[in-house]
Structure 1
Amino acid sequence: MSVWIGIDLGTQSVRALAVTGEGRVLGAGSRPLTSHRDGPRHEQDPEQWWSALAAATREALRDVPAGRVEGVAVDATSGTILLTDARGDPLTPALMYDDRRADATRVNEAGAHVWERLGYRRMQPNWALPKLLWLLPHAPAGARLAHQNDFVNRRLTGHEVATDLSNALKTGVDLIEERWPAEVFDALGVPAGMLPDVVRPGARLGEVCAAAAEETGIPAGTPVVAGTTDGCAAQLGAGALLPGNWNSVLGTTLVLKGVTKQLIHDPLGVVYSHRAPDGSWLPGGASSTGAGVLTRDLPGRDLDLLSTQAEARYGGGRSLAGGLPAPVPPRRAAGPLPRAVTYPLVSRGERFPFAAPDAEGFTLGEPADDVERYAAVLLGAAFVERLCFDYLDLLGAPVDGEITLTGGATRSPFWTRLRADVLRRPVTLRENAEPALGMAVLAGGDPARMIRTRAVVDPSGADLREPYLRFVAELEERGWLDARAAAHARERTTR
């Protein structure tokens, strides 16, 4: 019985899973992480990553025979970096993925031709390369750049390691040529010796050294495999692995990630692509809409109860609160549609499927009570999700494959069914789609055996095209959604 270790370095915790080749979790462990926030500043202590990882892996491996572990891989938050010395010890705190103290102006001036060719067109202030320039003036001689998982991978192997292309994306790596664009870094004054080598996710970095084995419980000699960002890890865990397949993660906010054979170029820069282990592309985008609006606008309400009540009112009277077997037959004829729809913007400004820094949430119609307010948010999030797929189709991305839903929203059977109705196609739920599972797969497991389906949810046949088109028209009239994208969304409702 072979076992693979997947480790997820998140913002609030470190999570480790020990997973068999059949996808059975033999052990799990987690430890919390603390952050230091002050306005645009967000830092963590890198040493805490290592101590938390060591404790989490020892817990996960408590009942796993040592001779069964075949590999380990680590994912990390995208855009989190620090500087280390030649031994790999930290010289700075870690600047987290959303630290916004840097300025991207110089980076975008020097690298515009590269960022344009890579499809995302420009960097944001919280990306890793602007943060590296912010750290550079005070960097001592010999300082080295490290991404979050580079730091712990070096501790695991006991020697210098390459970084993966996924985490290096926001540091400016040329994903087409799979190298650092030397002319850009020379123009920015970044010493070449500061940068690690780059490899594809899944490449072997080394083996767990004796010192790391003693601390982590991972057997010495276990292969250490280059990981990915946490978003790509979640996509791997969800099984979105073939061109045309997509993973839609709906929690506090909405994130879509898929697979294409060709690099997608987006004139708005709201979609950008990672490189997959096999050389294909992983395009995606992150919206500022999602379930975070529910806790903000319905504070203290029982959301599970509201889901059940919404299903009873709008779903034909049959509650799905007891769970979703696989496959799920179509429900009975739907009840009346919600009269209201909310654009559920968690914070000011939208990032995907359009760029609108001044966008604000709104509600079309007047919800009569909390049940309708709840349903209006769910419907609006489903409409944004549909619009994301419409926009990806406009860019030429294949969107005809399996759609897997993950994230906290899948706990609501009513919301899951509503999303299938809006998309007008079946959606898939997995038994376990967490990033740590994706890393266990990347470490060497067989995804066909390790990734298990929990349910396939078919649409009910409810026709939501008319309220969707009203929603699209409102976004266009407010000047946030451009005319070409709106027209394409309208055209797709007729297919």
Structure 2
Amino acid sequence: MSVWIGIDLGTQSVRAMAVGEGGEVLGAAGRPLTSRRDGPRHEQDPEEWWRALASATREALRDVPSSLVAGVAVAATSGTILLTDTAGRPLTPALMYDDRRADAERVNEVGAGVWERLGYRRMQPNWALPKLLWLLRDAPAGARPAHQNDFVNRRLTGHEVPTDLSNALKTGVDLIEERWPAEVLDLVPPEILPEVVRPGTRLGVVCAAAAEETGLPAGTPVIAGMTDGCAAQLGAGATRTGSWNSVLGTTLVLKGVTKELLHDPLGVVYSHRAPDGSWLPGGASSTGAGALTRDLPGRDLDALSTQATARLRVTSGERLLSVPVTYPLVSRGERFPFDAPAAETFTLGEPADDVERYAAILLGAAFVERLCFDHLDLLGAPVDGEVILTGGATRSAFWNQLRADVLGRPVTLRENAEPALGMAVLAGGDPSRMIRTRATVEPSRTDLREPYLRFVAELERRGWLQEQAARHARERTAR
């Protein structure tokens, strides 16, 4: 038997997982990470990443024979970057994925043609390239950029490593040509940029020093990883063209697979490159379960789910048709399936009590999810494949059924879809054996098309949803 090690470098913690050939978790451990936040500033200490990773990996491997370990891969937060010296030692704190102190005006002026060709049209201030220019203003000689997983991969191998296309996306890599474009080289000294490889490429092996600290056997292959969102998609098994992973936690994130690169006039969908060369389009909404903790603080959500099931699912769920609907924004402004910085939460109707308030939020999140698929269909993406639900929301059977009903199609639930599992798969595991299905939820007879179209009409009336997108949602619903 072989065992693969997946590591997920998140915002709040590091997670390490040892996974066997059949998907069995033979060891897992996590360690917390600390951040420094102050307004637009969000920094972390790269040395803390390494200490936490080494400790978590050593614990995860405690009961795993070293002779079985066949590979390791690391996922990291998208757009996190720092400067190191030529030996890989940090010269600056890491600017995290949501640090917004940089300005994107210069990179969008110089690279507009490239960003347009790559489908996302423009960079945001929190993307890695604007932050890199901000860091380079006062950089000493010899300073060079490193993404979050580049930093730890260098520690694992003991030598300089290439970066992967997934983490380099927000640094401006040309995903079509798989190289740094001339426009980026005009902004950044070309000699400081690392070589670029596809995720899944072998970077080297675990060196003796790293083996001593992490417990990983010396000589273990180190495989180029991906961003945490792409890693979660791999862990969910959404790897076939037309399949989609819908992650509903605090907010909603949708990621899928297409053969061709999508171009979104709104710029709310952008695509990563898969290890096999296909494309991984996706978008992140500002709506989600975070609205539950805000609007129903201290409530027992499991109890509300049980009560909603009993009250609203009688006689095949007809009572759902009269439930109010909440647009469950977690914070002001929407990013996907439309771009509306001024968008605010609202409720159509007046909930009678906490059960209806709970159901209204869940229904609104399901409608946003449906609208995301309508937008992707409008862009020409195949959306007829498997829909895999992951994230904290899948703990609610009521919500899972609601989402299947709103989408009008079966949805799949996995036993385990952590980013660390996705990295274990990328490190060399067989996804057909390692990714296990927990359940498939079939849509019921409840027809929620009419309240969905009322919701779409309200978004259009408020000027947030474009007329073309609203019209397409109506046409697709009528099919």
Deviation at 1:334, TM superposition (A): 1.9
Match of 1:360 in 2: 344
Match of 1:199 in 2: 197
Deviation at 1:494, TM superposition (A): 1.4
Code of the residue aligned with 1:294 in structure 2: it is L
Code of the residue aligned with 1:268 in structure 2: it is L
Match of 1:208 in 2: 206
Match of 2:283 in 1: 285
Q: Give the whole-Å Cα distance in 2 for the aligned partners of 1:11 and 1:315.
A: 38
Question: Which of 474, 489, 494 is equivalent to 2:473?
Answer: 489
Query: For 1:211-231, what per-residue CA distance to the aligned partner results, in whole angstroms no more than 9, with x for missing partners?
Result: 000000000000000000000
Unaligned runs of 5+ in 2: none
Aligned length: 478
> Any conservation in 2 of the 1:236–1:438 contact (CA below 8 Å)?
yes
Query: For 1:260-305, what per-residue CA distance to the aligned partner results, in whole angstroms no more than 9, with x for missing partners?
Result: 0000000000000000000000000000000000000111100010
Match of 1:389 in 2: 373
Q: Give the whole-Å Cα distance in 2 for the aligned partners of 1:314 and 1:410.
A: 19
The alignment's TM-score, normalised by the length of structure 1, stands at 0.96
Deviation at 1:69, TM superposition (A): 0.3
Match of 1:149 in 2: 149
> Any conservation in 1 of the 2:304–2:358 contact (CA below 8 Å)?
yes
Query: For 1:151-197, what per-residue CA distance to the aligned partner results, in whole angstroms no more than 9, with x for missing partners?
Result: 000000000000000000000000000000123331x2x11111111
Match of 1:334 in 2: 317
**What does residue range 4-403 of structure 1 map to in structure 2 within 5 Å?**
4-186=4-186, 188=187, 190-316=188-314, 333-337=316-320, 338-403=322-387
> Any conservation in 2 of the 1:88–1:160 contact (CA below 8 Å)?
yes
Deviation at 1:454, TM superposition (A): 0.2
The alignment's TM-score, normalised by the length of structure 2, stands at 0.99
SS at match of 1:307: helix
Query: For 1:295-331, what per-residue CA distance to the aligned partner results, in whole angstroms no more than 9, with x for missing partners?
Result: 0011110001001101111112xxxxxxxxxxxxxxx
Q: Give the whole-Å Cα distance in 1 for the aligned partners of 2:417 and 2:113.
A: 36
SS at match of 2:159: coil
> Any conservation in 2 of the 1:16–1:57 contact (CA below 8 Å)?
yes
> Any conservation in 1 of the 2:199–2:226 contact (CA below 8 Å)?
yes
Q: Give the whole-Å Cα distance in 2 for the aligned partners of 1:43 and 1:182.
A: 29
SS at match of 2:341: coil
**What does residue range 404-423 of structure 1 map to in structure 2 within 5 Å?**
404-423=388-407
> Any conservation in 1 of the 2:323–2:359 contact (CA below 8 Å)?
no
Code of the residue aligned with 1:207 in structure 2: it is V
> Any conservation in 1 of the 2:79–2:126 contact (CA below 8 Å)?
yes
SS at match of 1:333: helix
Match of 1:322 in 2: none
SS at match of 2:37: strand
Q: Give the whole-Å Cα distance in 2 for the aligned partners of 1:184 and 1:28.
A: 39
Question: Which of 459, 463, 471 is equivalent to 2:443?
Answer: 459
Query: For 1:31-76, what per-residue CA distance to the aligned partner results, in whole angstroms no more than 9, with x for missing partners?
Result: 0000000000000000000000000000000000000000000000
> Any conservation in 2 of the 1:273–1:281 contact (CA below 8 Å)?
yes
Deviation at 1:335, TM superposition (A): 4.4
SS at match of 1:138: coil
> Any conservation in 2 of the 1:227–1:442 contact (CA below 8 Å)?
yes
> Any conservation in 2 of the 1:287–1:350 contact (CA below 8 Å)?
yes
SS at match of 1:88: coil
Q: Give the whole-Å Cα distance in 2 for the aligned partners of 1:30 and 1:183.
A: 40
Q: Give the whole-Å Cα distance in 1 for the aligned partners of 2:313 and 2:162.
A: 52
Q: Give the whole-Å Cα distance in 1 for the aligned partners of 2:95 and 2:182.
A: 24
> Any conservation in 1 of the 2:254–2:284 contact (CA below 8 Å)?
yes
Code of the residue aligned with 2:199 in structure 1: it is P
Q: Give the whole-Å Cα distance in 2 for the aligned partners of 1:167 and 1:143.
A: 19
Q: Tell me which moved more, 380-389 or 193-202.
A: 193-202
Q: Give the whole-Å Cα distance in 1 for the aligned partners of 2:362 and 2:110.
A: 42
Q: Give the whole-Å Cα distance in 2 for the aligned partners of 1:257 and 1:194.
A: 32
Q: Give the whole-Å Cα distance in 2 for the aligned partners of 1:268 and 1:335.
A: 36
> Any conservation in 2 of the 1:251–1:292 contact (CA below 8 Å)?
yes
Question: Which of 396, 419, 427 is equivalent to 1:435?
Answer: 419
> Any conservation in 2 of the 1:441–1:447 contact (CA below 8 Å)?
yes
Code of the residue aligned with 2:296 in structure 1: it is L
Q: Give the whole-Å Cα distance in 1 for the aligned partners of 2:192 and 2:364.
A: 46
Deviation at 1:339, TM superposition (A): 2.3
Structure 1 runs of 4+ aligned residues shifted over 6 Å read none
> Any conservation in 1 of the 2:411–2:440 contact (CA below 8 Å)?
yes
Deviation at 1:432, TM superposition (A): 0.2
Deviation at 1:110, TM superposition (A): 0.3
Deviation at 1:146, TM superposition (A): 0.1
> Any conservation in 2 of the 1:424–1:461 contact (CA below 8 Å)?
no
Q: Give the whole-Å Cα distance in 2 for the aligned partners of 1:183 and 1:359.
A: 34
Q: Give the whole-Å Cα distance in 2 for the aligned partners of 1:293 and 1:12.
A: 21
Match of 2:431 in 1: 447
Aligned Cα root-mean-square deviation (Å) = 0.7
Deviation at 1:252, TM superposition (A): 0.3
> Any conservation in 2 of the 1:157–1:209 contact (CA below 8 Å)?
yes
Q: Give the whole-Å Cα distance in 2 for the aligned partners of 1:184 and 1:458.
A: 48
> Any conservation in 1 of the 2:318–2:446 contact (CA below 8 Å)?
no
Code of the residue aligned with 1:129 in structure 2: it is L
SS at match of 2:440: strand
> Any conservation in 2 of the 1:182–1:192 contact (CA below 8 Å)?
no
Q: Give the whole-Å Cα distance in 1 for the aligned partners of 2:48 and 2:472.
A: 48
Code of the residue aligned with 2:409 in structure 1: it is R
Q: Give the whole-Å Cα distance in 1 for the aligned partners of 2:71 and 2:313.
A: 46
Identity fraction in percent: 84
Q: Give the whole-Å Cα distance in 2 for the aligned partners of 1:79 and 1:212.
A: 25
SS at match of 1:354: coil
> Any conservation in 2 of the 1:272–1:284 contact (CA below 8 Å)?
yes
Unaligned runs of 5+ in 1: 317-331
Q: Give the whole-Å Cα distance in 1 for the aligned partners of 2:302 and 2:171.
A: 41
Code of the residue aligned with 2:144 in structure 1: it is R
